[in-house]
Structure 1
């Protein structure tokens, strides 16, 4: 009887062991195949877009769990991304990214893909067209390097100034070689553009800031950017830390595909009156 009882006990332990291993394997399988949560850092209207994307059926179809974190400062956003406190950020143009990498060589970011061109515009409360801007007028221009150079390129495209050959994303007002109207330049914080219109001849305002000031770049600006070779570095991107693994990069790139989904694009177009122009280009296009 004792031997029989021992055999029953051993058998029970074996069964419990098998069940335990099976449950562990099942739980491990569930964890390994659970959707990866991606923290997307963003700000302004982009924050609203990614909040919508995170809740969309398309995100679920791609097996993506997205958490959106708001950080209202570009440098802090990029720092948080390079330090892996944010997995991916969605707020900046390629030129802004390029400038950040130039100034932070030890904490570089990498491009995952393109999203849209949000045209910068030349706005004025005093004049109705570019030709009306008089000699000696003051132009308000952003005080960060990426948007300074971007604004100057827009002024050149509008025929107001001429820049030196080879002007790039790190250029500034010192690179102006021709200024026939003797325009003056006033550096302003990016976010104050709409508020200074009554005190300057014209202001260069990014579309994110313009939207917050109830301005539509396609209707209210005197002149604005178009999609062409001269504006390719102004295309917005999704960016991640430069030292991410190939495995993570592959997962994060799903966000690029998700952004360009037709249903998502319809939402973006309707909400922002077409001012976020979809750009689906290879990364090589930006360089």
Structure 2
């Protein structure tokens, strides 16, 4: 074979590689750092084999991930549960949809001042998230512990105004969810989303005074716009997140702090 043939072969091979790379679909997904971004980074190689180049955009709040997907700046997001998504859609007029459940982050109560629920004093200050769905989630968990009673014991959007019995006269302080770990020194009790607890170095299974069970209705999901819900790249993303490999990764890395929901 002469040099011309060799060079020709290399050019053809190079063109095929180039075409293959160009054929890979780009997929951008918003996520909060822990565990969502970590799970997405874990499945990147599997998605690449399926022809999807995944870019993970990390956010530390609960508003921008939805807004940027609704504005078509990003393709999907992975950080929230359905009660939060439903509330966001209603308040912002968006139409984002859930395309798959991945895991449950059992919601927990933390304190630096007490070691047991029985030590909660009269008039204790309790910090809860200020968004409707997670605020209600906090109240439902407090109700489960017998600390309060709600008008409707199953209302996933209950507020402090729905508390009908508060024997310990708990004082509720509503704060941005991301800031809750930072106020632990200033309050008696804080109800914290597991992703923010993990980021702050808290171990939900060891440090929480009490925590939700795996039967929680707050499974974390992947959300996108209606027009992208059935796109091949989104379907491949969900398939990659709902594998035995991911289940094993969750169980080994988070050791019960989050649990698979598929």
Instruction: Give TM-score, length-normalised by structure 1.
Output: 0.79
8 Å Cα contact 1:140/1:185 also seen in 2:
yes
Distance change in 2, residues 1:166/1:243 (3 Å): farther
Deviation at 1:267, TM superposition (A): 2.5
Distance change in 2, residues 1:123/1:245 (3 Å): closer
Describe the superposition over 1:14-61 as per-residue Cα deviations: whole angstroms up to 9, x where unpaired. xxxxxxxxx9xx99xx57x9232211111211123212221x2x2234
Deviation at 1:167, TM superposition (A): 5.0
Number of the residue aligned with 1:171 = 158
Alignment partner of 1:74: what SS? coil
Number of the residue aligned with 1:14 = none
Describe the superposition over 1:145-174 as per-residue Cα deviations: whole angstroms up to 9, x where unpaired. 221111111111111111112753432100
Q: Does 1:162 align with 2:179?
A: no
Matched residues in 2 for 1:53 and 1:38: separation?
13
Q: Identify the match of residue 142 of structure 1 among 129, 149, 172.
A: 129
8 Å Cα contact 1:118/1:275 also seen in 2:
yes
Q: Identify the match of residue 203 of structure 1 among 190, 200, 216.
A: 190
Matched residues in 2 for 1:158 and 1:95: separation?
21
Q: Identify the match of residue 62 of structure 1 among 34, 40, 50.
A: 50
Q: Does 1:261 align with 2:239?
A: no
Matched residues in 1 for 2:66 and 2:226: separation?
11
Q: Identify the match of residue 255 of structure 2 among 270, 273, 276.
A: 273
Structure 2: stretches of 5+ with no match in the other structure: 1-11
Deviation at 1:227, TM superposition (A): 2.1
Alignment partner of 1:198: what SS? coil
Alignment partner of 1:115: what SS? strand
8 Å Cα contact 2:228/2:234 also seen in 1:
no
8 Å Cα contact 1:162/1:176 also seen in 2:
yes
Number of the residue aligned with 1:103 = 91
Instruction: Give TM-score, length-normalised by structure 2.
Output: 0.86
| Superposed CA RMSD | 2.3
Number of the residue aligned with 1:122 = 109
Larger radius of gyration: 1
Describe the superposition over 1:193-238 as per-residue Cα deviations: whole angstroms up to 9, x where unpaired. 222222211110111111111111111101001122xx21x11000
Deviation at 1:252, TM superposition (A): 0.8
Number of the residue aligned with 2:26 = 37
Q: Identify the match of residue 132 of structure 1 among 96, 119, 138.
A: 119
